[in-house]
A = this chain, B = another copy of it.
Amino acid sequence: MVYITRRERFNAAHKLWHPDWSTEKNHEVFGKCANENWHGHNYELFVTIKGEPDPDTGFVLDLKYMSDVIREEVVEKLDHKNLNLDVPFMKGLMSSTENLAIQVWNILEKTLNDGRAILHCVKIVETENNFVEYFGK
């Protein structure tokens, strides 16, 4: 098994806000991340798949194809968007990086997995100090 990773990037706005909580509780729990008028990040997305290299190409998976799928299925839905308002697959979920990684996994598990290439990890870097990894259930 060889593991290959592709990085893509997206810039998005969000806020952490629980709709059933008071303003006071939201500010208490989420601090400045609960700013009513949003804030945002340059997110980095690292997608790792594993598999055996194809003898003819030397590739586990063509990285151009992998990039195209990630951009079409994930990045176009997140880039220059509001994670709370604009992204169907985040509706009803807190827009934490944890939940974002799980949802991106769920999308890519359907679109990147095939007989030979298997999704291994979705990593999302929110800031230079914070990142999240999800390896599936």
Grouping DSSP codes into helix (H, G, I), strand (E, B) and loop, the A interface class, with mixed when no group exceeds half, is mixed
Against B, the Cβ 8 Å flags (1 = close, 0 = not) of A118-132 are 000000000111111
Question: Can you tell how many copies of this chain the complex includes?
Answer: 6
Binding site for B on A (CB under 8 A): 1-9, 11-14, 16, 18, 29-33, 35, 37-42, 48, 53, 56-60, 62-64, 67, 79-82, 85-86, 93-99, 101-102, 127-135
Instruction: Give the chain B neighbours of A82 by CB distance below 8 A.
Output: 35, 37-39
B33 near A80 with CB under 8 A, answer yes
Instruction: Give the chain B neighbours of A96 by CB distance below 8 A.
Output: 53, 57-59
Instruction: Give the chain B neighbours of A58 by CB distance below 8 A.
Output: 16, 93-96, 98-99
**A132 with B4, Cβ < 8 A, contacts A42-B127, A98-B53 known:** yes
